[in-house]
Amino acid sequence: MSNIEPSNLKPSNIELGTIPLAEAPATKLEAAYIAKKIAPNNTNPNAPVWVFVHGWGASANTWKPLVDELKSQCEIWLLDLPSFGGNRQAANSPSAVAADIAKILPANTVLVGWSLGGMLLPLIAQQIEQDWPTKTISHCIGLAANAKFARGDNYTVAMPAETFQTFCANFNADPTTTWSRFGLLQAQGDSNRKLVSRQIKALHNAPMPEQFTAWQQALTWLGAIDNRALLSEITTPFLHLFGEGDALVPADAAVAMAGINPLHQTLVLASAGHVLHFSQPVKVAQIMLARVHAKRNKARVAKSFSNAATEYDSVAHLQQKLANTLCEWVPEQAEKIADLGCGTGYCGLQLQRPEREIYSLDLAQGMLHTARSKALAKQQLFSGVCADIECLPFISNAFDALVSGMSMQWCEDLPAVFSEAHRVLKPNGEMVFSTLGPQTLFELREAWAEADIKLGRQGCVHVNTFIELDRVENAAKQAGFVVEQTSREIHVLTYDSVMPLMRELKTIGAHNVNPGQEQGLTGKARLKAMAQAYEQFRTAQGVLPLTYEVGFYRLAKV
């Protein structure tokens, strides 16, 4: 890449207002890459620094709408990529850029990237894992960033290769005009198209003649990066956000991303194009903050149920009974159905009809493998997607019906769940689901609490907690649903002793995954104390009860 003289570069010009700046960069590399550092007055020294990496044809300026939403809550570093903004650092490959950025990152980072910047995130995370053991990336968040930008090598959910090649040729022939047309493409498909176009004109600067060659080289990076293998292996928590109307990165890439790594979250934003942070900065900020500050560890939930997948059906008798009831609520005329939290695929098998198309979604890859095996054994088609109910990788108005059996209780953000469900349902579509109420497992919860008091170990969380069913219903209404039918039931299972009860809970993956769980093995003395406390619930028939409070709901999108 050719070196660019400082006098030919336009410095970043983000308005900072009264937000104090952190100290100036100390090294040459930091001075090249870090355009701005922004810190709130109440910075927590232990909190991660949010580091933002822009896309092709832009600079650190692109983040201004998002910075305005986040600057009071976290320390922010805005980076310029080589040859963009104020960065005159030479770099000859995406890997070299990733190595540079990894070198300057702080000890604890939330890494956010848009478009090309988002495609660099896996490379940066890999550098941190391999070469910087004292540094941590707590989360990676990619906006409009595909695993592969153009189609090829058996990857089809991307821009057609011919379209990308034509764009590169046009930029080589007439960079300024092509860059202007690129701005129109970025705004295409967005319901706030005029606003996005104004923001692009205000915050994205056209290339100077001295930058043409370097920007052309950056385009070749965009076409060369293929992150599929890296994304499948990377352990850093990842959130991928896509715009439903994006003319550059198809929204269907969300499903592909979910398939590449089951621990990654994907979300499609309705009415958004390529520049999500211009179109919906408030929503994007809320989604990112919710992800970073989530209390329940979704990876642990997924692992718990994946581990339980092979033996789940052998003990899930109540779950199957409840699923039979739920399936009766699914409208018979529904042809395209999503089974959210499909588990081992029991509901999907019951709902299968020749005319129906069923998508099975679960957070646990192990559950999907079991569901697929069961479907194939019955010679039925299976379409599985590994994703989170709170972040559905589907386009809007896609399904006639949604069904979710005993999965809602594992969700942390109910407004997000119902907002997403409402989005992907067709008009007049229905959602039917069952979930657990707070009386569920109350005997076990009280027995553990009594044992902890006896042993002086108060404050530990041993049993999953479940929210009030009225709150579930209210969240559905607030998302725009009409509640058409509800039913609440109490089911009581019985056991001869505590140990079979505990083993069964573990076998179905329903053991404790809440914050506050004490780490390490539970000692024999504590188990004995809990078992003794549980005896107070033994019935006249000589058995130990375990209660499940179940709510059934039918919702309509009208």
Is residue 508 domain-resident? yes
In total, the chain counts a number of residues equal to 558
> Active-site residues: which are they?
115, 246, 274
Split at pLDDT 50, 70, 90, the class of 523 is low
Per-residue pLDDT, averaged over 241-249, amounts to 96
Which pLDDT score is estimated for 20? Answer: 39
Is the pLDDT at 397 greater than 90, yes or no? yes
201 and 271 fall within a common domain: yes
Looking at per-residue pLDDT, the higher value among 281 and 2 belongs to 281
Residue whose pair of structure tokens reads 């697929």 in the numeric block = 372
Residues 6+ positions from 181 with CB-CB distance below 8 Å: 170
185 and 268 fall within a common domain: yes
- Cα–Cα–Cα angle for 515, 521, 525, nearest 5°? 110
- Domain-terminating residue out of 266, 293, 320: 293
222 and 320 fall within a common domain: no
Per-residue pLDDT, averaged over 530-538, amounts to 96
Is the pLDDT at 517 greater than 60, yes or no? no
403 and 281 fall within a common domain: no
Q: Write out pLDDT tens, residues 330-378.
A: 999 999 999 999 999 999 999 999 999 999 999 888 899 899 999 999 9
Which pLDDT score is estimated for 511? Answer: 53
Is residue 228 domain-resident? yes
Which pLDDT score is estimated for 53? Answer: 99
289 and 310 fall within a common domain: no
80 and 190 fall within a common domain: yes
Is the pLDDT at 9 greater than 50, yes or no? no
* C-alpha to C-alpha distances, 133 to 50, 140, 358, nearest whole angstrom: 19, 17, 44
Q: Tally the C-alpha atoms within 13 A of residue 447's C-alpha that lie toward its C-beta.
A: 24
Cα(313)–Cα(292) distance, rounded to whole angstroms?
34
370 and 495 fall within a common domain: yes
Split at pLDDT 50, 70, 90, the class of 3 is very low
Is residue 179 domain-resident? yes
CA-based nearest residue to 46, from 132, 111, 138: 138
Sequence-ordered alpha helix ranges (H) in 92-246:
94-104, 116-131, 161-173, 175-187, 193-203, 212-224, 228-233
Split at pLDDT 50, 70, 90, the class of 524 is confident
Which pLDDT score is estimated for 364? Answer: 86
Looking at per-residue pLDDT, the higher value among 515 and 412 belongs to 412
373 and 279 fall within a common domain: no
CA-based nearest residue to 25, from 83, 95, 78: 78
Q: What is the mean pLDDT of the chain?
A: 89
Is residue 399 domain-resident? yes
Question: 453 and 460 in contact (C-beta within 8 Å)?
Answer: no
Question: 368 and 362 in contact (C-beta within 8 Å)?
Answer: yes
Is the pLDDT at 504 greater than 80, yes or no? yes
Cα(75)–Cα(89) distance, rounded to whole angstroms?
24
Per-residue pLDDT, averaged over 35-40, amounts to 92
Looking at per-residue pLDDT, the higher value among 314 and 542 belongs to 542
How many C-beta atoms surround the C-beta of residue 397 within 10 A? 14
Is residue 1 domain-resident? no
- Domain-terminating residue out of 239, 261, 293: 293
**Which among 81-95, 225-239, 422-436 has the top mean pLDDT?**
422-436
The CATH number assigned to the domain holding 168 equals: 3.40.50.1820
* Percent of the chain whose predicted confidence (pLDDT) is above 90: 71
Per-residue pLDDT, averaged over 83-102, amounts to 93
Q: Write out pLDDT tens, residues 452-464.
A: 888 877 667 788 8
Q: Which of 14-18, 77-81, 276-280, 531-535 has the lowest mean pLDDT?
A: 14-18
Is the pLDDT at 119 greater than 90, yes or no? yes
Question: 184 and 57 in contact (C-beta within 8 Å)?
Answer: no
**How buried is 123 (Cβ within 10 angstroms: 0-12 exposed, 13-18 middle, 19+ buried)?**
buried
Range(s) of the domain holding residue 392: 299-557
Per-residue pLDDT, averaged over 188-210, amounts to 95
Cα(129)–Cα(140) distance, rounded to whole angstroms?
13
- Percent helix, strand, coil in the chain, to 5, is 45, 20, 35
Is residue 114 domain-resident? yes
Is the pLDDT at 297 greater than 80, yes or no? no
333 and 462 fall within a common domain: yes
Which pLDDT score is estimated for 122? Answer: 98
Cα(440)–Cα(456) distance, rounded to whole angstroms?
25
Is the pLDDT at 127 greater than 80, yes or no? yes
Is residue 337 domain-resident? yes
Split at pLDDT 50, 70, 90, the class of 476 is very high
Cα(93)–Cα(220) distance, rounded to whole angstroms?
9
> 3-state class of 207 per DSSP?
coil
Q: Which of 154-163, 299-308, 329-338 has the lowest mean pLDDT?
A: 299-308
Is the pLDDT at 4 greater than 90, yes or no? no
Split at pLDDT 50, 70, 90, the class of 1 is very low
168 and 315 fall within a common domain: no
Question: 72 and 134 in contact (C-beta within 8 Å)?
Answer: no
Is residue 116 domain-resident? yes
365 and 283 fall within a common domain: no
> Count of domains in the chain?
2
Q: Write out pLDDT tens, residues 256-282.
A: 988 888 678 888 998 999 999 999 999
- Cα–Cα–Cα angle for 40, 43, 44, nearest 5°? 160
358 and 284 fall within a common domain: no
> 3-state class of 484 per DSSP?
strand
Phi-psi domain of 468 (left: phi exceeds 0; alpha: psi -120 through 50; beta: other): beta
- Domain-terminating residue out of 273, 293, 313: 293
The CATH number assigned to the domain holding 544 equals: 3.40.50.150
pTM for this entry: 0.73
